[in-house]
Each structure stands twice: as C-alpha cells, then as structure tokens.
C-alpha cells in the first residue's frame, strides 16, 4: 500500500514538472518575434587578395579597430557591435575571384581589373587606394650595383627570358656565375604587370623560381647574392640595406619619377567589391582614402592615391 502511495506521489511530481516546463516554453517569444539584432559576425568584413596590399590593409584595419572599437562610434546609425575585419592574402587573381564569388566582401588587387572580370561584377565598385612600382632588385653584395647599375628594358627582358644566363654575359666585369631569377607566380598581380610592361608576351625562363608572395620574392633577393627579381617598391623601402635597385633606361624608381610617371613599371593598388559596398564596407574604404589611411600607405613605402 505504502509502495503504491509513493508511486502515485512520484507520478504527480513528474506531471507537475512537465506542466511547469511546458508553461515556461509557452511564455518564450517565437523566433520571428525576437528583435532582429545583427550579431558581430554579420557586422564583420572579410578582405583578401594581393600579397602587396594585404599588409597595408591589415595595419589599417588594426588602426581603424583600435580607434573606433564598435561600429556605432564610426556611424551612430550602425549597431553597437564590435568591429571585426578579417584580412588574408593569396594574390591579386585570388582577390578578384573571391570578391566575385562572395568569399571576400572586398578583394585586394595590385593590377588593372580585366574586362572579363568587370563583366562579372557590373554593380561593383573599384577603388584605387594607392600605387606601387616594380623595381628591378638585386642583393646589395652583387657587383652589378657598382659595375652596371642601369639596365635597358631589352636587357631586363633577355635576363628574365633566360637568354642572358650568367652575370658575365651581361657585363665582362661581372663574375661568371649563373643568374638566379625570382618572379611572382601567375596568380600575382605583379606577374601580369611585368609581362605587359617588360616581357611584352615573351615567356619567362622555365628555370625562374615562381614565388607565391611578394614578401617571399623579396626574401629570395635578400638571401642570395646572385638573385634578381622584380620587387615591390614598398618592400624595398622597408628593407633599404638588404635590397638594391637598378635603374631602367636611365630612370630610377625614385618617388619623384614614380609620381611623375617617368618610371614605367607601375601598378595600381585596388579594393574591389562585387556589389555596391554595404555601409560598414564603405566606411572602411573611406578610411583608406582618409589622411590616416593614406599615411599607412606612405609609411609602408607606397604612393597613396591622389586626393
């Protein structure tokens, strides 16, 4: 009898608990009635592409985030959500492709946008934030710096085509050692610019080292006395004692020659979007064009876009 009473009491307690839980769940508002607050994830910006431009954007993103911290401090109409900006590299081709397919909100490109690419983002926006030049760079210990510091465009083409294979072939006063060629891989914007403005369709030598990033290419020049490569002016300016540059047809890659357009091996630094930029994206693009963003570009050795 006592056993039955305990069983009934236990069943009553369990039933009461079920009713309480059901009652609580009925008081919860449905998902459609919840306020539609954007999460930090939806407010984030994904940016990537050019290995030349990505360090500039990463530094600027850090400055931007540190200054404002939340989006409402940039624009009071935006939610009070933390500013989160992801920046990655991968090359200019990857930057354009990822902007088109939506992997990135903003693609970073260090070359001109092709017409076929523009067709895939008819409502997109292309913003030039600066310029870069490709220097003909060698190791400072290479004797060419003193013996033959100026090359013709034709000589440069023959070196990178593999027609001039040793330093002595270039000049009898130079040592009889093989020239080591370092170039960007085909996904890099630099390879397109170098092909268009120097090689003009002549293939790069098969023995050339195909380097996946501009930073790594600069590293090859710094590490090997016999290496020659085309290195971004910004990286040269960041490593003035470790990289030497040669003049091209008597014109050196000085700021004056870059600004005036005398030095020809140049390329734009672009931020591209598939569609019209969303508010947060446009605010960061505007920041890159502001005095603060321009200062980062200049500090890292590049030329900010004209105001």
Q: How far apart are CA 29 and CA 51, in angstroms?
A: 48
Taking only the tens of pLDDT, the chain with its 307 residues reads 434 433 333 334 333 333 333 333 333 322 323 333 444 455 799 999 999 999 999 999 999 999 999 999 999 999 999 999 999 999 999 999 999 999 999 999 999 999 999 999 999 999 999 999 999 999 999 999 999 999 999 999 999 999 999 999 999 999 999 999 999 998 889 999 999 999 999 999 999 999 999 999 999 999 999 999 999 999 999 998 999 999 999 999 988 888 788 998 999 999 999 999 999 999 999 999 999 999 999 999 899 998 8
What pLDDT sits at residue 42? 56
Both structure tokens of 267: 């390329």
229 contacts 190 by C-beta, under 8 angstroms: no
- The separation between CA 210 and the C-alpha centre of its own chain, rounded to angstroms, equals 18
Helix, strand, or coil (residue 49):
strand
Listing DSSP states for 125-144 in one string gives: EEEEEEEEEEEEEE-TTSTH
pTM for the model: 0.80
Quote the CA–CA distance of 7 and 244 in Å, as a whole number: 90
pLDDT at 183: 97
Q: For the chain, where are the alpha helices, taking DSSP H only?
A: 2-27, 40-43, 54-68, 92-101, 115-119, 144-147, 153-161, 167-170, 189-194, 214-223, 233-238, 255-260, 279-289, 291-299
d(CA 124, CA 8): 70
Look-up of token digits 């508010």: 279
Spatial separation of the C-alpha atoms in residues 72 and 81, rounded to whole Å: 7
């Amino acid at each position: 009898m006592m056993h039955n009473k305990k069983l009934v009491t236990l069943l009553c307690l369990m039933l009461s608990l079920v009713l309480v839980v059901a009652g609580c769940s009925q008081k919860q508002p449905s998902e459609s009635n919840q306020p539609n607050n954007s999460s930090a994830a939806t407010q984030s910006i994904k940016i990537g592409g050019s290995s030349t431009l990505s360090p500039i954007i990463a530094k600027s993103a850090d400055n931007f985030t540190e200054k404002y911290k939340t989006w409402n401090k940039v624009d009071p109409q935006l939610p009070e959500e933390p500013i989160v900006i992801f920046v990655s590299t991968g090359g200019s081709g990857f930057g354009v492709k990822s902007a088109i397919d939506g992997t990135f909100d903003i693609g970073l490109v260090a070359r001109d946008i092709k017409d076929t690419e523009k067709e895939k983002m008819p409502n997109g926006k292309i913003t030039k934030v600066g310029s870069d030049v490709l220097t003909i760079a060698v190791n400072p210990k290479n004797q060419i710096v003193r013996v033959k510091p100026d090359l013709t465009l034709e000589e440069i083409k023959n070196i990178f085509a593999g027609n001039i294979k040793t330093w002595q072939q270039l000049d009898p006063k130079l040592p009889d050692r093989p020239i080591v060629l370092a170039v960007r891989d085909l996904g890099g914007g630099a390879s397109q610019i170098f092909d268009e403005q120097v090689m003009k369709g002549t293939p790069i030598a098969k023995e050339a080292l195909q380097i996946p990033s501009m930073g790594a290419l600069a590293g090859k020049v710094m590490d090997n006395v016999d290496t020659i490569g085309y290195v971004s002016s910004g990286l040269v300016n960041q490593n003035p004692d470790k990289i030497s540059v040669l003049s091209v047809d008597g014109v050196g890659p000085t700021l004056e020659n870059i600004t005036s357009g005398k030095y020809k091996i140049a390329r734009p630094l672009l931020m591209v979007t598939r569609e019209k930029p969303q508010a947060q994206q446009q605010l960061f693009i505007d920041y890159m064009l502001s005095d603060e963003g321009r200062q980062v570009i200049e500090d890292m050795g590049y030329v900010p876009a004209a105001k």
